[in-house]
Structure 1
Amino acid sequence: MDNRPIGVMDSGLGGLSVIRIFREQMPNESIVFVGDQGHFPYGTRTQENVCQLALNIGKYLMTHDIKMMVIACNTATAASLPILQKELPIPVIGVIKPGAEAALEQPKHDRIGVTATEGTIKAGAYPKTIHELNPNVPVIPKAAQPMVSVVEHNEVGTPKAQEVVNEELSIFKDKQVDVLVLGCTHFPFLSKEISNLLPGVKLVDPALETVKTAKKMLADSDQLTGNDQPGEMKLYSTGNFKDLQTGAEKWLPGDHFTCEHVDIPED
């Protein structure tokens, strides 16, 4: 057993959608989370810049003696996963491969849609990964950067949220996809609005498969915690930590956590 915490990072509040699944599936594990709101958004930055930001956060998380790092950000996964796996002395997993596998495991997946940030779509990460697993499935990608801001500005559930979703994802009504991968960890918080627009389309949240992957890796190496109490949760923001605290209170109701600001350099 290993009682050290799991480190999780994201460009902002979206990583809370992954932590939410961790708390459901592995409630006794302690978590240290960094939301990089000070450098938000990642989706419009260069791959090199995002990679450096993710590496700096990984090094910071190592100061908390973490046993595993989860890149709970599709843009950062696409830009930095191999580098972090090479540079850090712990297992590092991302959200893209688990999301791709989950899409292909759906009973009907003749046409797969992917919505994500501009950075993830430009990197071609999901079509590439899906086609490595099954080259015969058409993949329709669509960047939806404005949907990230809806979540960051706590506008989920408002008429504006539905308007933005309708505008950004209308292509999938025309293309008639069977499955839509929510290729940004902010987007599961907009599942209701997306389903309103695309009834009958199966939404895939990569967070579910990512947590399943993390749990299996820790179990296989006998590194699951031995604690039988809820794990500690420490949240850090490189921006205004009050925004992260508000998001955590909304999306992680009933959980106990601490929330602070942290300075992590850009280069």
Structure 2
Amino acid sequence: MRKPIGVIDSGVGGLTVVSELMRQLPKEEIIYIGDTARCPYGPRTEEEVRTFTWEMIDYLLSADIKLLVIGCNTATAVVLEEAKEKLSIPVIGVIHPGAIAALKTTKNKEVGVIGTEGTISSGAYHRELTSINDKVKVVSLACPTLVPLVESGEFSGDDAKEIISDALSPILDYDIDSLILGCTHYPLIAPLIQDVTGEKVAVICSGDETAREVSALLYYKEILYTGENQPKHIFYTTGSKKLFQKVAESWLGCHLFEVRETDLNLVTTNRQIR
């Protein structure tokens, strides 16, 4: 089926999921919205997160997407079940795939989770992990300084490593052997996180497992695209197009996409986005 996959995120973080989708499903088209103007979602109220997330979902539905990926952990924690219930298309979040990846990796059954305030306070990862394996010990830590670091586009060098080291310090007192990056922004700084944690801790990104879940669902629903047309990827940002383009090109390592600015408030009067 030649319809696009929709991906939403609070900013540039969901590009880490897009990267895996493009690698594992190179024929599929992707339409992405990063709400960079209102990022981060972590400190916001549930009602704000719900409102903003549904604005992005409604915007993408006008593009006739065949599947939705909620690439933001905070939005996944707040809206995933509601979206599954209300939408007629398949909906995937990033929390379950991240939990699965960690449980495959951990040897001592002590798993750390870092994320935004909203994701950590929701307890979503703890519930997901322990519902699958009630023997696992989960240590969670909110790291509010990390999303602004990634969104700034300046996330390399000694200053960035110092910010990351300060943020992770409390969780490294525990005997975790796996650390879930419970925010899709964090894989953009995964090498620096790995430097801080050391090799004894496996750093877990949900993008790879999320893309696998998307692939399996597309196949099961018989909506996988198998034609020969080249995909056209469109990325929308509610903030700076220039900054978004810089991060996207750096992370994806290609130019096979178009970046556009959007005002989600126009969705009610301008439903056609393609």
Residue 247 of structure 1 aligns with which residue?
247
Q: Aligned-pair distance for 1:230? A: 4.1
Question: 70-79 or 154-163, which moves further after superposition?
Answer: 154-163
- Number of aligned residue pairs: give it: 266
How far, CA to CA, are the matches of 1:109 and 1:98 in structure 2? 20
Q: Aligned-pair distance for 1:116? A: 0.4
How do 1:67-106 residues align onto structure 2 when only pairs under 5 Å count?
67-106=66-105
How far, CA to CA, are the matches of 1:150 and 1:107 in structure 2? 28
How far, CA to CA, are the matches of 1:6 and 1:204 in structure 2? 24
How far, CA to CA, are the matches of 2:108 and 2:203 in structure 1? 11
Consecutive unaligned residues in structure 1, runs of 5 or more: none
Q: Is the contact made by 1:117 and 1:144 (CA closer than 8 Å) also made in structure 2?
A: yes
Residue 10 of structure 1 aligns with which residue?
9
How far, CA to CA, are the matches of 1:173 and 1:107 in structure 2? 16
How far, CA to CA, are the matches of 1:131 and 1:95 in structure 2? 16
How do 1:18-97 residues align onto structure 2 when only pairs under 5 Å count?
18-97=17-96
Question: 94-103 or 238-247, which moves further after superposition?
Answer: 238-247
How far, CA to CA, are the matches of 2:235 and 2:78 in structure 1? 23
How far, CA to CA, are the matches of 2:229 and 2:168 in structure 1? 42
Q: Aligned-pair distance for 1:229? A: 4.8
Deviating beyond 3 angstroms after TM superposition, the runs of 4 or more aligned structure 1 residues are none
How far, CA to CA, are the matches of 1:225 and 1:211 in structure 2? 15
Residue 206 of structure 2 aligns with which residue?
206
Q: Is the contact made by 1:245 and 1:259 (CA closer than 8 Å) also made in structure 2?
A: yes
Q: Secondary structure at the match of 1:265?
A: helix
Residue 225 of structure 1 aligns with which residue?
225
Identity of aligned residues (%): 38
Q: Secondary structure at the match of 1:145?
A: coil
2:186 maps to amino acid: F
C-alpha change, 1:133 and 1:233, in structure 2 (3 Å) is same
How do 1:104-183 residues align onto structure 2 when only pairs under 5 Å count?
104-183=103-182
How far, CA to CA, are the matches of 2:197 and 2:35 in structure 1? 31
Q: Aligned-pair distance for 1:227? A: 2.7
The TM-score, its normalising length taken from structure 1, stands at 0.96
Q: Is the contact made by 1:58 and 1:88 (CA closer than 8 Å) also made in structure 2?
A: no
Residue 186 of structure 2 aligns with which residue?
187
Residue 263 of structure 1 aligns with which residue?
263
Q: Is the contact made by 2:108 and 2:177 (CA closer than 8 Å) also made in structure 1?
A: yes
Question: 229-238 or 52-61, which moves further after superposition?
Answer: 229-238
The TM-score, its normalising length taken from structure 2, stands at 0.94
Residue 271 of structure 2 aligns with which residue?
none
Say whether residues 1:196 and 2:195 are aligned partners.
Answer: yes
Quote the RMSD (CA, aligned, Å): 1.5
How far, CA to CA, are the matches of 1:94 and 1:109 in structure 2? 26
Deviation per CA, 1:157-185, whole angstroms, max 9, x where unpaired? 22121011100111232112110000000
Q: Is the contact made by 2:140 and 2:171 (CA closer than 8 Å) also made in structure 1?
A: no
2:249 maps to amino acid: E
